[in-house]
Amino acid sequence: MADKKGFGKRWVGEMPRIGIRPAIDGRMNGVRESLEDQTMDMAKNVAKFLSENVQYPDGSPVECVIADRTIGGVRESALCAEKFAREGVGVSLTVTPCWCYGSETMDMDPLTPKAVWGFNGTERPGAVYLAAVLAAHTQKGLPAFSIYGHDVQDNDDKSIPEDVKEKLLRFARAGLAVAMMRGKSYLSLGGTSMGIGGSIVDQPFFENYLGMRVEAVDMSEFTRRLNEEIYDPKEYEKALKWVKENCREGDDHNPEELQRSREQKDKDWETVVKMTLIGRDLMVGNPKLEEIGYGEEAMGHNAIASGFQGQRQWTDFMPNGDFMEAMLNSSFDWNGIRAPYIMATENDSLNGAVMLFGYLLTNTAQIFADVRTYWSPEAVKRVTGYDLDGRAAGGMIHLINSGAATLDATGMQKKDGKPAMKPFWEITQDEADKCLEATDWYPASTGYFRGGGYSSGFLTKGEMPMTMSRLNIVKGLGPVLQIAEGWTVDIPADVHKTLNERTDPTWPTHWFVPRLTGENAFKDVYSVMANWGANHGAISYGHIGSDLISLAAMLRIPVCMHNVDGAKVFRPSAWSAFGVMEPQGADFRACENFGPAYGQY
């Protein structure tokens, strides 16, 4: 894996590549020869387009591998498969301008997400091959995505139509997410937190649906590493100095008799900084630990995501995990601007999983929040005297949790002059500084957290497009995904203060309004809240519901609730066979029929 500044070698192995398979009519003595250049050029153009428009989590362009020769039959399919295995291909895209022999040229790897682009032209029947090979994929239980341009192109037109580009990018992003999860770990730091269902970590789900393993480490490992000083001492000194200079301590909102002493608070700062180093080292390792005699600890757990239980067995006597979770989930720290980590509060592994989905699809930091309160316009008027307007006219959802949300969520980063959350390689130092300046670190509420600690407090800027999602596991059915696209909204400062202080003023707030459709769960804002399947949600910058739907189909996870325009829903062609007139039911039936890629759940 590339050792790019701000990312490093976090996980074992190389980044997965996209394999491009140029399929061709195998009939020689005229037919094949006339198509060689056009077919290979099509593959090269697609590879160039994807490398220019899709990035890995380290910011480097995605790498594409093209078969050494066009694929006209089964031997050439096998040669291509051999090369792809050698080159670390994790996503497969077949392209062709012509008729080919379907089952002889198709990709048969059962673990590789697959798509086929059939050129829409009249000289050669690319669409006929597309239909034929997709039928073979469906018949053999190897679903593939169909890519076919809306408009006929001339035979010598090498451009990629806009509608084809959109599907290529959606497939590539989702397919790479599938490939990057495979073989990595979810690190469970502790066990079940306060009886929360998502923190009852379901190992078969991670294994069978995501191709991941679950590593479990008791929270006593934090105690051991704190007591035995198993962290890089030089980095700790650097981190603590940076925290003192950049993390502003807020007012103590605890009753005077429950406030911790200044000595205790100073000690808490030292502990939470050490916890952050330890949590990161447990996830991805740290070669510096080997230098001080801890070779085993230096290796980490190859974790692409993690969760920290915290409550209550830890927080009843030790500082909470809010600082650790907030800083690891952010795109900057004492080492500068860098890629975020994924760490779920309260070890809610199902929220952690969708945070991971959002991260791999966007390369941006993810927000963990309680889906806490629906505020109707009437309730806001009664409490504050203010009439909600604009996007919030129909009410809004208060997303808030103890201060563990990424600081990227302040909205202090900019894109086209508007508040945004960006991949780390696009973030400037000035933007990182402003995120820190917008955040107060309040002494933790000792009613909740008897052991102290610090919680981040900030208000997310409005008018950012956001997608909230959630995985839930249903006994007898398995995992289901919920998606709600919408926006953060601004409300007057005094109104926010009144509403926020009814919950906890020491925690970060995101006022969220979903996009409504007027039907079912999206009839109104209240219905979205009422149909949400758990107490937590993962929030990603941008409207990425379409990408999440494609990813879910690859993972065979049905989507039980979404507000994505039907024209933007992109699933494997086989899904139509399960009820084209009823796409949501078809999704459930198709996912059940084909089942998880990595074994029976």
For 285-363, where are the alpha helices, taking DSSP H only?
A: 287-291, 295-298, 322-329, 349-362
Contact 326, 310 (CB under 8 A): no
pLDDT at 303: 98
Contact 381, 510 (CB under 8 A): no
For the chain, the average pLDDT equals: 96
pTM of the predicted protein model? 0.97
Q: Which residues are catalytic?
A: 346, 370
pLDDT at 1: 34
Spell out the SS3 assignment of 170-186.
HHHHHHHHHHHHCCCEE
Mean pLDDT on 518-527: 97
Distance of CA 256 to the CA centre of its chain: 41
Residue-wise over 489-503: b if at least 16 C-beta within 10 A, else e? bbbeeebbebbbeee
Cα 199 from Cα 344, distance rounded (Å) = 9
Mean pLDDT on 5-17: 86
Mean pLDDT on 356-382: 98
pLDDT at 4: 59
* All structural domains of the chain with their residue ranges: 17-181, 185-594
* 296-350: pLDDT as tens digits: 999 999 999 999 999 999 999 999 999 999 999 999 999 999 999 999 999 999 9
* 265-297: pLDDT as tens digits: 999 999 999 999 999 999 999 999 999 999 999
Contact 557, 479 (CB under 8 A): yes
The correct CATH number of 17-181 out of 3.40.50.150, 3.40.50.1070, 3.90.1150.10, 3.40.190.10 is 3.40.50.1070
CB atoms within 10 A of CB 440: 19
Q: How far is CA 341 from CA 223, 399, 463, 487, in A?
A: 22, 21, 25, 24
Q: How far is CA 108 from CA 64, 80, 360, 415, 534, in A?
A: 19, 11, 25, 42, 38
pLDDT at 121: 86
pLDDT at 125: 76
Contact 530, 376 (CB under 8 A): no
Say which range, 127-131, 363-367, 393-397, 525-529, has the weakest mean pLDDT. Answer: 127-131
Mean pLDDT on 117-145: 92
Please state, for a pLDDT cut of 70, what percent of the chain lies above it. 99
Mean pLDDT on 450-457: 96
Residue type, 65: V
pLDDT at 123: 78
pLDDT above 70 for 193: yes
pLDDT above 70 for 3: no
CATH code for the structural domain at 185-594: 3.20.14.10
Mean pLDDT on 37-63: 97
Give, as one character, the DSSP assignment of residue 62: P
Mean pLDDT on 466-491: 98
Please state, for a pLDDT cut of 90, what percent of the chain lies above it. 94
pLDDT at 184: 98
pLDDT above 90 for 495: yes
* 431-452: pLDDT as tens digits: 999 999 999 999 999 999 999 9
pLDDT at 155: 84
pLDDT above 80 for 8: no
CB atoms within 10 A of CB 75: 11
Contact 1, 16 (CB under 8 A): no
pLDDT at 9: 83
User: Strand pairing of 440-443 and 454-457?
Assistant: antiparallel
pLDDT at 198: 95
User: Strand pairing of 336-337 and 332-333?
Assistant: antiparallel
User: Strand pairing of 418-420 and 413-415?
Assistant: antiparallel
pLDDT at 275: 98
pLDDT at 2: 35
